[in-house]
Amino acid sequence: MILDGPNIKSQSVHARTRKRDLIEMLFDLGLSISYDRVMAISTSMGNRVCEQYHRDEVVCPPNLREGLFTTAAVDNIDHNPSSTTSTDSFHGTGISLFQHPSLHINGTDRREHSVLEQPSTTTTLSELPESYTCVRPLVLPRKDPPLPKANGPLKSDGQEITQALHQEYGWLDTVKQRYQEIPHSVSNLSWAAYHASKESGQDNLPAITALLPLFPDDSKSVGMIRHSMDVIKKAVMEVNQGQKPVITVDQPLYTIYKQIQWTWPSTYGEDHFVIILGGLHIEMAGLKGIGDWLEDAGWVEALSLESESHPESFDDWCGQRTRDVPQFQFWHITLQLELLLITFVKSLRTANFPLYMDSLTQLAPWFFSMDHTNYARWVPVHIRDMMSLSKAHPDIATEFTNGNFTVHMTKRVFSSMAIDQAHEQNNAAVKSDVGAAGLTQNPNAPRRWMVAGPELVRMTTKFEASMEGMKIRNNQDTPP
């Protein structure tokens, strides 16, 4: 069966609303397939992938290719009650896999086949392999496991951050000039547009993404975390033999992952897994830090300075004013902090790993200053791990230097994103607009959503990407 527009639209509408009446109304209008057909297709999706997972003895989505560097992300996926009177909710765990093709290494296609080749003859979904669904309970035997020693230097030379901050002042000068030329215009260059215009036009192949079947287990449990490490390791070994798994998580999960690594070093230690503290969540913590710094600072009041000519350099003038005027010192520090944070964001958008390490190293002390206890504790651990990569995992260090510590979702320049941000997009795609409504009344509904939902997201994304390519070609062929 061909994956056409009506099928995709019908599946997408049902995934977002889970309303039978709406599907039937669209069917009567000729805009959709029938509700029974929608359910048959989703069942076929789930059963086909389950058959493949049982046959391969590993849960590894069929769209992933062999021979490509593969990263993973783990986070909670929640469906909160959809109304004040609702009692339905879902709190589980989602795992995403990302592959990073390049112009020189594009991987080898695996035996991907259409899940819609034949209509499903049953309305019951098959079971996933027990090795995937069975999460064994587990507790940490001790709260303070012995810490491994760090290898190599844990501080960079800082050259990348110096050059990057100089470029940020260039952006500020450009905005100032644009404002002076057209005082009442809103055509000032945005930060992203300015830096995108400075980037070279090299093409970045979009990453291959896959969301594994969802888990109903709490993501913060030690058992679920260690089980996710086993699941990811099997999938990575299936598509890229010999690669050490790379897993990106937010700060609460990062704490548990590191404790597991330090508790069971022979099987889950730092020699066997690379754990990354998510860049999106570091960025959010940095923004909160700026908010704490500016709280009750009177920043909403207008602050104006008359322009004066000074014989000394701007840096010397700022240094002198900082020593003489406390208010100037405060705002000078504020500017430096804001530029530091957007430099960190720039390192993600440009997939610049040396700049990522430099900016994160300078950002770390601010988490101590702003009393962000958890990030103050664990960001230095993350920095230590990344600084040690060149000796502990040189092949992964090379991949990160090539930009594969981020995800390219499009070919556009200055548009890379942190791995945990790409995972959040996968989570958002599989969720519906009505929350958990309808998931708990029918015992088959949660399993259908957890198994067929990620497969539907994959197929929908693939279809939409092909349609986007057609739009681009049509626009290019249209005469001016």
The predicted-structure confidence for 135-172, as pLDDT tens digits, reads as follows 999 999 987 888 888 766 677 778 899 999 999 999 98
Residue 174 lies in a domain: no
Q: Lowest-confidence range among 54-63, 197-206, 374-383, 452-461?
A: 452-461
User: How many Cβ atoms are within 10 Å of 328's Cβ, its own excluded?
Assistant: 16
pTM for the whole structure: 0.86
Residue 55 lies in a domain: yes
Q: In degrees rounded to 5, what are phi and psi of residue 335?
A: -60, -45
**pLDDT over 60 (residue 83):** no
The Cα–Cα gap between 384 and 266 comes to: 20
Residue 308 lies in a domain: no
Residue 325 lies in a domain: no
CA-to-CA separations, 29 to 12, 22, 37, in angstroms, rounded: 17, 11, 16
**pLDDT over 90 (residue 271):** yes
Residue 135 lies in a domain: yes
Query: What value does the mean pLDDT take over residues 51-63?
Result: 91
**pLDDT over 50 (residue 301):** no
- Residues of the chain with pLDDT > 70: what percent? 80
Interaxial angle between packed helices 5-17 and 35-56, expressed in degrees from 0 to 180 and rounded to the nearest 10: 90
pLDDT grade, residue 48 (50/70/90)? confident
User: How many Cβ atoms are within 10 Å of 398's Cβ, its own excluded?
Assistant: 13
Q: How do beta strands 90-99 and 246-249 pair?
A: unpaired
Q: Contact 450/92 with Cβ under 8 angstroms?
A: yes
Residue 436 lies in a domain: yes
- Supply 380's token pair: 């230095």
- Supply 57's token pair: 């003895």
The one-letter amino acid code at 441 reads Q
CA-to-CA separations, 268 to 137, 157, 255, 375, 477, in angstroms, rounded: 17, 31, 14, 23, 54
Secondary structure of residue 54 in the 3-state scheme: helix
Residue 119 lies in a domain: yes
**pLDDT over 70 (residue 263):** yes
Q: Contact 372/342 with Cβ under 8 angstroms?
A: no
pLDDT grade, residue 266 (50/70/90)? very high
* Residues spanned by the domain of 47: 5-150+203-278+418-477
Q: Lowest-confidence range among 181-185, 187-191, 227-231, 256-260?
A: 181-185
What is the model's pLDDT at position 478? 42
Q: How many domains is the chain built from?
A: 1
Q: Lowest-confidence range among 24-33, 243-252, 266-275, 432-441?
A: 432-441
What is the model's pLDDT at position 76? 92
- Residues of the chain with pLDDT > 90: what percent? 46
Query: What value does the mean pLDDT take over residues 194-222?
Result: 87
Q: How do beta strands 406-407 and 90-99 pair?
A: unpaired
Residue 178 lies in a domain: no
**Where is mean pLDDT largest: 175-179, 194-198, 434-438?**
194-198
- Supply 385's token pair: 């791990």
**pLDDT over 60 (residue 56):** yes
The Cα–Cα gap between 324 and 319 comes to: 9
The Cα–Cα gap between 112 and 200 comes to: 35
**pLDDT over 90 (residue 262):** yes
**pLDDT over 90 (residue 411):** no
What is the model's pLDDT at position 1? 42
The H or E element spanning position 12 is: helix 5-17
Q: Lowest-confidence range among 110-114, 334-338, 471-475?
A: 471-475
More confident residue, 219 or 449: 219
**pLDDT over 60 (residue 113):** no
